[in-house]
Amino acid sequence: MDYLKIFAPATVANVSCGFDSLGFAVDAVGDEMTFTKTTEKGVKITEITGAELTYDVDENAASAVVKKILNDANADFGVALTIHKGFSPGSGLGSSAASAAGAAFGANQLLGAVYSELELTKFAMFGEKVACGSEIADNVAAAIYGGFILVRSYEPLEIIKLPVPSELRVVAIHPQISIKTKDARAVLPKEIALKDAVTQWANLGGLVSGLYTDNYDLISNSLVDMVAEPARKPLIPFFDHIKNSATKAGALGAGISGSGPTVFALCEGDIVAKSVYKSIEESYKNKGINFEMFISKVNHKGIKIIK
């Protein structure tokens, strides 16, 4: 294979109670990237569209990952890379993760698919470090594995792919403001009360159990975040208003996607999802802030080759 074009999905991380450990991929939004083998070794970015990103190979998450993989594999070729961002950096939908995970996947295909999904996740985590300073796995693993994933352990890295109930849908609203991951992490508490920690652990266990048993009531009851949401929601204008609008319209629950400002709502079925979409849209359209929205199924496949 000398050329390929891929779709790298946006992702929702944390999923309320699963801070830095849960994530899932979406169908509706993502990046497109192309990879072309070159006889000259090394990596070069030939085009970036959809967002203003650096062309510096060592500072761009995608090219940095491709460079690392080619060096690790001692490749006898180089790669020319193009990136089309299908959603905004700083949206809380895993923008840098889509770039990093897509880069790992694409480079691996040109190498003959020699690396496993777990190994690709490790490479993509390096891209996250380049982009935001932290080697976090939840977004990149969701993009690479597809569906819902649980980061069971970081040392050693262990990713568990979870089942997804067939009627699970996500509605998301992205207020057009930018929140940097570093800033969102800075507001997190350094310590939490034991009572809150126990509640968080129980909710994470309940959500995982609900996914395995198709128990939408259990999923709903478990979508409660005692750690990140209370600290981060002041960064998102009218967050409580969005969340209340979603739950009143029938959403199973709502929370902050990744570092924000995107807010997600999980729903059972298309009819409820459309109702939740309309309710959020109506409640936010007069707030003086531009926004984008989408409805999506959970993306079971993750990154895919489209050409």
Calpha distance 300→289 (Å, rounded): 32
- In whole angstroms, what is the distance from residue 67 CA to residue 290 CA? 37
Task: Please answer whether residues 154 and 128 qualify as being in contact, where contact means their C-beta atoms are separated by less than 8 angstroms.
Answer: no
Give the span between the Cα atoms of 207 and 221, in whole angstroms: 8
Determine whether 181 is an active site residue. Answer: yes
DSSP readout, 74-105? T-SSEEEEEEE-SS-TTSSS-HHHHHHHHHHH
Helix (H, G, I), strand (E, B) or coil at 109: helix
Contact call for residues 228 and 15 (beta carbons, < 8 A):
no
Helix (H) or strand (E) holding 247: helix 239-248
The one catalytic residue in 36, 181, 262, 268 is 181
Q: Which residue among the candidates 32, 117, 128, 268 is catalytic per the annotation?
A: 128
Residue type for position 55: Y
CA pair distance 222, 217, nearest whole angstrom = 9
**Per the structure block, which two tokens stand in for 18?**
């699963």
Amino acid at the residue 73: A
Rounding to the nearest 10 degrees, give the CA dihedral for residues 170, 173, 179, 182. Answer: -10
- Other Cβ atoms closer than 10 A to 10: 31
Residue 298 DSSP code: B
Rounded (10°) CA dihedral 281, 287, 290, 296: -20
Active site residues: 128, 181
